[in-house]
Amino acid sequence: MSSEKYRIPDIDFYQKEMIKPMAEKLFFQDKINFNSIVDVGCADGALLLELSKSNPNLIGLGYDLSEEMVKDAKDNFKDTKTLQVFQDKDLLLAAAKDTKIDVINLSSVLHEIYNGAKKDVIFALNLIKEINAEHIVIRDMYCGMENKTIDIAIDEPWSKLYQAVYKTCEEKEYFFNKLSSYLFHRGPVNSRYRLLDFVLKYRYDVNWEHEVQEDYLAVKWDEIFTLFKVLGYELLLKRKYSPAFIKQTLMKDFALEEDSVPKTHLQMVWKLS
């Protein structure tokens, strides 16, 4: 599998964006006990470093397909004794072989996996199976009623959001340009799915050409739920919500009331039964 596809045009900006919601990415920290964790899509290792501050003995194994990210994580881990990072699945599995892995963490990575080829998805799902962790933790973007077309004649939060977004795009050039580029690359914004995908990404400038082409809501949740159940996991926690920074940005940019901001994300914890 080539790491070229995972090259990010402006990696510094990308990494800064990723640590903004760190507290919310660590939602599982006080919900389960763990001393070992595999972080799939660990990027520069920020989450493992943060976790090791409160547990210096934490065994943390990061895994990422991007060569640049793995290099940055290696640099960031150089003064730690129990954190390692891998770009190669077999090396990761070899390192995990003699350790009981308490958590496999999938933070903002499942949607990227599902934007890849089918074989990449199968590869990642097999990795989850092989690690056989006690818990699987997920945090990603989520749209429940994805195919529902928005009807502006109905007074409900999605139609309010739709109207607010189009009004802002008519009035402000920046938003207009983002919307036209989105329409060109991804097609009409007339469903909950597309509207959510657009409002989750319009604010990216530096990496726009990269981000606009990604489907932020690509995860096939039914596939995930079925697989985890077949592997013997049960759902301990499921929460739909909007991260505070997204809620505030949407309220400010589109002059929205709080109750018109849709739930954009999902947090889940699964446990081997």
Ligand X SMILES: C[S@@+](CC[C@H](N)C(=O)[O-])C[C@H]1O[C@@H](n2cnc3c(N)ncnc32)[C@H](O)[C@@H]1O
Binding mask 66-85 for ligand X (x = CB under 6 A): x--x----------------
- Residue 8 one-letter amino acid: I
**Comparison of 47 and 250: residue with beta carbon closer to ligand X:** 47
Please report how close the Cβ of residue 137 comes to ligand X at its closest, in angstroms.
11
138 binds ligand X (CB under 6 A): no
**Residue whose C-beta lies closest to ligand X:** 41
Please report how close the Cβ of residue 14 comes to ligand X at its closest, in angstroms.
8
64 binds ligand X (CB under 6 A): yes
Q: In this chain, which of 40, 199, 256, 268 binds ligand X, going by CB under 6 A? A: 40
267 binds ligand X (CB under 6 A): no
Name the region of 187 (left: φ>0; alpha: ψ -120 to 50; beta: rest).
Answer: left
197 binds ligand X (CB under 6 A): no
Could you tell me which residues come within 8 angstroms of residue 184 by beta carbon, excluding any fewer than 6 positions away? Answer: none
124 binds ligand X (CB under 6 A): yes
Separation CA 51–CA 62 (nearest Å) = 12
Stretch of 30-38, 39-47, 164-172, 173-181 lying at the interface with ligand X (CB under 6 A): 39-47
108 binds ligand X (CB under 6 A): yes
Separation CA 249–CA 52 (nearest Å) = 31
225 binds ligand X (CB under 6 A): no
Binding mask 1-30 for ligand X (x = CB under 6 A): -----x-----------x------x-----
**Comparison of 73 and 165: residue with beta carbon closer to ligand X:** 73
**40 burial class (0-12, 13-18, 19+ CB within 10 angstroms)?**
buried
Please report how close the Cβ of residue 273 comes to ligand X at its closest, in angstroms.
26
Where does this chain bind ligand X (CB under 6 A)? 6, 18, 25, 40-43, 47, 63-66, 69, 107-109, 112-113, 116, 120, 124
